[in-house]
Amino acid sequence: MTAEIVKGTEVAAAMKEEISLEMERLKEETGGGVPGLAIILVGDNPVSKINVNNIEKTAQELEFNPEVCRLPPETTEEELIQLIENFNHNKGIHGIVVQLPLPYHIDDKVILEAVLPEKDVEGLHSINKGRMLISFTPFLPCTPYACLKILEYINFDIEGKRGVVVGRSNNVGKPIAMQLLQKNVTVTICHSHTVNPAEVCRKADFLVVAVGRPELVKKDWVKPGGVVIDVGVNKVGEKVIGDVDFEEVSRVASYITPVPGGLGPVTTYTLMLNTLHSFKVVNDLA
């Protein structure tokens, strides 16, 4: 079997169309209001810059109103909090993105907690994480959300299936596990301490890998015909590779996402979906 490669750009194109149609419909109901997205970049990390530009461009294409703040690396924590406070109060802003990592002298956790949970479109505030555990969050973090969008795109019905999540991070592994439970998946979470991970993973109808270990997942980890979503982004020399050995695994899986070009483009659009949702909530249209 040779796996079908799920191209992130194609999934993203479908999402773009979906959002554009929704925007068209909303225009009439809101009298021309548009979703406002504040994007904050501190410093000049090259990867962060590219990411922020990407988010800005995507928001513009969707006719959202992006407001980008590019701040110098010496910005203080107090200044950053003040800026976030302003956006929290700004009625034209429906979502706030703080590009991570922040410079060393600023505490990420303090900053993420400063964002109003109602505008936390990245789903990183502890309140939204709590909702994930004991009720329902309006903002699923972007990466787990993108995994769900990919499964939806390939028409993979996850109801009652076995899903194995490799990695138990607070921003990817655990949130996606909680969300999959909501969708009636039987979920297993494994990690670096798991004994015989290949055997555990082979039980999966679909596998989500988010550990940050280049090409960890080999073909004997994958059930023939299984779906494999690779969240990993690892820089090895000049190359970017995923957590899955693409070459090997694509010979046994039914669908596989490549790295790069898989999850990445979809993630930006899940951020837009969350922003659009926030806009709808504010306008009583959700």
Amino acid at 99: Q
DSSP annotation of 217: B
Minimum distance, C-beta of residue 81 to other proteins, in the bound complex (Å): 19
Stretch touching other proteins by CB under 8 A, among 19-27, 59-67, 170-178, 217-225? 170-178
Residue 178 touching other proteins (CB under 8 A):
yes
Q: State the nearest-atom distance from the C-beta of 200 to other proteins, in Å.
A: 6
DSSP string of 110-145? Answer: HHHHHS-GGG-TT--SHHHHHHHHHS--SS--HHHH
User: Is the CB of residue 111 less than 8 Å from the CB of residue 77?
Assistant: yes
Stretch that binds other proteins, among 14-22, 50-58, 87-95, 184-192 (CB under 8 A): 184-192
125 binds other proteins (CB under 8 A): yes
Residue closer to other proteins (CB basis): 188 or 234: 188
- 110 binds other proteins per the rule CB under 8 A: no
Please tell me the count of residues contacting other proteins according to CB under 8 A. 32
Q: Which of 186, 234, 240, 248 binds other proteins (CB under 8 A)?
A: 186
Using the rule CB under 8 A, which residue among 32, 89, 134, 155 binds other proteins? 134
Nearer to other proteins, 24 or 107 (CB): 107
The reply on whether position 156 binds other proteins by CB under 8 A is: no
User: Could you tell me the CA-to-CA distances from 195 to 190, 191, 200 in Å, in that order?
Assistant: 9, 9, 9
Residue 135, interface with other proteins (CB under 8 A)?
Answer: yes
- At residue 164's C-alpha, the angle toward residues 247 and 166, to 5°, is 65
| Beta-strand relationship, 162-166 and 206-209 | parallel
Rounded-to-integer distance, Cα 42 and Cα 23, Å = 30
**Distance, CA of 23 to CA of 68 (rounded, Å):** 21
| CA trace torsion 160, 138, 188, 234 (10° rounding) | 120
The one among 2, 76, 86, 170 contacting other proteins by CB under 8 A: 170
Name the site residues for other proteins (rule: CB under 8 A). Answer: 125-135, 159-160, 162, 168, 170, 174, 177-178, 181, 184, 186-191, 193-195, 200, 203
